[in-house]
Structure 1
Amino acid sequence: MEIGERVAEARAERGVTQAQLAASIGMDRTALAKIESGSRRLTAVELVAIARELRHRMEWFVDETPPALASYRRAQPEVSVQAIDTELDSLVRDAEFVTSRCPELVKGQPDPLPHPATAEEAEELAASARRLLGLEPEQPAHELSRLAATVGLLVFAVNLGDGADAGTVLLKRGGVALVNGHWRVGRRRLAAAHELGHYLVADQFSLDWRVAASEAQGIEARLDRFARALLLPREDLRERWAKWLGVPDQTWRDAAVRAASHYGVDMATLARRLVEACLVDKGRAEDVRRVHTKQADIVEKNLVVRDELTPVSLPRPYEQAVLKLYRNEAITADRALGLLRGNFDHASLPDLPPAPETEIWEVTS
């Protein structure tokens, strides 16, 4: 029954009918319908054909769904499985496989921090996160994927189209966050920082749409505040904003362009943070929100162009662990390439030492 349900789920995800899938694998449609309903068993050969056609690894159909995702689906049966949900499912399976064989990939995770109940508690959570990440009190957080990995959160970025911003699943050790690489870099970084907040307060599962898009209250709004505080430390922003405005012939627009580049944020995030830091009123914040950084700004102001979490983006420690497994011949080249999500090809993998002659004779004799 469970395998049949997963076949139906994967088929719906690919957008094909029972008749189309049955025809592509040489099976009668009624037989496929019985498989999906759980009234007919399927052979290993049939499952291989279905998995290949629906572009899923076989274990996806037979292994248990990660507990956090399973709990989420049971709690919201009326919500259809989204692309980010399915991608998280796959990433969690991969991460758990790799960490089970390379436990040093995730050395553990910090004790859960309190859920922020107010805006100031969100600021305090950001200060605590800064200490955990090894950042100075007012140091901006760049290279979020690298920083998050130091506390056990593996941040991936995949292009999911015009959908959810991000999601996070807490594992037995560490966690996995997925950021929608479809969005621009500032929004990707904000989403990654927001997911780090979920991880630090130990939310079992989160799925976030349009991070920082509204003024709504609640834990999501406070984690938005946490994310902005992490990316734009309040006192540092105040000092730099005054400095940039104090440069001769520089306008508030010039200061905004410099700030967005320095902290690696989009203008909407910068505008909200400037209001929170009492540096502009809401009218000026709307002006900042409408600013577009031009190529001329980048050249004339010698700005740094940051492009973090460009899809497909994998945490470096995760990539290193996969390559270690391959070097140790614990996994095949095809398995390594699957775990590396298309970022490598066969020629990019490390060369393995030739097998000793005695080993060759043992195999061939």
Structure 2
Amino acid sequence: MSQTVLAREVGLDRTMLVKIETGARRVDALELARLSTTLGVPMEQFLEDRPLVLSRRAQLAEEAQTDAAQDAYRLEAKLLQWREDVCQLVETGLLHPARPMLYKSPVKNQEAARAAARWLRSKIGNPLGPIDTVMAVCEQAGQLVLIADLPGEGASLVDGDLAVAVVSRMSDPGRRRATAAHELGHLVLGDEYSTDLGVATSREDREKVIDAFASELLLPGEVLVQRFPGEDTDHRTWLIGVAARYRTSWSMAVRQAESAGLLDVPTARRLRAANPTRAEFMEALGWTPQMDLESVTVPPGYAHAVMRAWSNDLITSERAVELMHGQITMDDLPARDDSGLAP
């Protein structure tokens, strides 16, 4: 849907829509209702005082087309719903999110971001090994991640000491892991709009810095240096094995090897154009299933809190299923009478 089409649907001139998007024009109740209906997001999203959104990949005011903006709005609506779900469990006293791990040193470039990723790995006790589940690492670092069946990539926010993120399931597993690590980077490195990084650089450059953090978190450069087989070997076969074991996308693996000085520019360009097949990745793993961010939609600590709340009759079975966001169904819970419980 283009801005022109959206403007027509809400009964506005396109220039008026642009002013609304940039905050230069107020919107009346009827226009608000039409925007809510056309974009398919709750009206409350436009009315609530919302916490700071640290990362939303698609910025409405920066786009000529609004399809990506509509996806961003839906992701943000899901993000706000996720925050409310987490808050409900916190209020029961059964969920105690970890305090966010925040990197204190200034981060103004990609190398500093990689140093921050190495710091975080040391904090969680995994300096160089593969990360089995990014969701568990995010939870340990103080960010609760929801995997949602929505188009787009990811979004995250912080509300006091509570940090939450949403990652779209509608991409390949390597991309989902990279997005989750990227959203964690926004938290660990701090608010992009108030740090030296945010003030001094463009949004595109900030995202590259966060991407460097995510890449180093998922595949440390030191691992590549230690395992580099030498100049006279098949770089592609070697890198497939490392990318498969660390479960990164092919582009991330090539980028990390290039950043570590192991690949020259022509070799890196050639490898980027030679994407491995799924069979090549699975062969490198010995055909062991890799399911991170596939069947699990909510963090393990959160899921445990939901089930304790249900067992303690604090929530109904229907609400428990809602809070689990597709990870369980009503058939997974023992039948019981919830007539005396609040919804």
TM over 0.5: yes
State the partner residue of 1:230.
217
Instruction: Report whether the alignment pairs 1:325 with 2:309.
Output: yes
1:339-354 to 2 correspondences below 5 Å: 339-350=323-334
Q: TM-score, normalised by structure 1?
A: 0.70
State the partner residue of 1:66.
50
Instruction: Report whether the alignment pairs 1:154 with 2:164.
Output: no
Q: 2:181 aligns with which of 193, 214, 220?
A: 193
State the partner residue of 1:145.
135
Distance 1:134 1:238, change over 3 A: same
1:102-251 to 2 correspondences below 5 Å: 102=93, 104-135=95-126, 137-161=127-151, 163=152, 165-203=153-191, 218-242=205-229, 251=234
Letter in 1 for 2:263: V
Distance 1:89 1:6, change over 3 A: farther
Distance 1:291 1:196, change over 3 A: same
Distance 1:5 1:87, change over 3 A: farther
Q: 1:12 aligns with which of 35, 38, 41?
A: 38
Moved more, 106-115 or 174-183: 106-115
Checking the alignment, whether the CA contact within 8 Å between 1:156 and 1:179 is kept in structure 2 is yes
1:219-243: CA deviations, max 9, x gaps? 2111111111111111111112328
Distance 1:259 1:267, change over 3 A: same
State the partner residue of 2:78.
87
Q: Secondary structure at the match of 2:144?
A: strand
Moved more, 305-314 or 220-229: 305-314
Q: Hey, what's the Cα distance between the residues in 2 that align with 1:305 and 1:111?
A: 33
Instruction: Report whether the alignment pairs 1:275 with 2:263.
Output: no
Checking the alignment, whether the CA contact within 8 Å between 2:95 and 2:302 is kept in structure 1 is no
What is the percent sequence identity of the aligned residues?
A: 24
Structure 1: any 5+ residue segments left out of the alignment?
A: 15-53, 206-214, 361-365
Q: TM-score, normalised by structure 2?
A: 0.74
Structure 1 residue 2: Cα displacement: 10
Q: 1:335 aligns with which of 303, 319, 324?
A: 319
Checking the alignment, whether the CA contact within 8 Å between 1:193 and 1:230 is kept in structure 2 is yes
1:289-342: CA deviations, max 9, x gaps? 222234266347615442321266211111111111111111111111111122
Q: Hey, what's the Cα distance between the residues in 1 that align with 2:285 and 2:103?
A: 42
Distance 1:288 1:76, change over 3 A: closer
Checking the alignment, whether the CA contact within 8 Å between 2:94 and 2:305 is kept in structure 1 is no
Moved more, 320-329 or 171-180: 171-180
Moved more, 228-237 or 294-303: 294-303
Instruction: Report whether the alignment pairs 1:286 with 2:277.
Output: no
Letter in 2 for 1:173: D
Q: Secondary structure at the match of 1:157?
A: strand
Structure showing greater radius of gyration is 1
Checking the alignment, whether the CA contact within 8 Å between 1:238 and 1:279 is kept in structure 2 is yes
Q: Hey, what's the Cα distance between the residues in 1 that align with 2:235 and 2:160?
A: 47
State the partner residue of 2:8.
none
Q: Hey, what's the Cα distance between the residues in 2 that align with 1:259 and 1:316?
A: 27
Q: How many residues align?
A: 295
RMSD: 3.6
Q: Hey, what's the Cα distance between the residues in 2 that align with 1:230 and 1:61?
A: 33
Structure 1 residue 350: Cα displacement: 4.9
Structure 1 residue 274: Cα displacement: 0.8
Letter in 1 for 2:107: P
Letter in 1 for 2:38: A
Q: Secondary structure at the match of 1:218?
A: helix
Q: Secondary structure at the match of 1:344?
A: coil
Structure 2: any 5+ residue segments left out of the alignment?
A: 1-26, 64-68, 194-201
State the partner residue of 2:11.
none
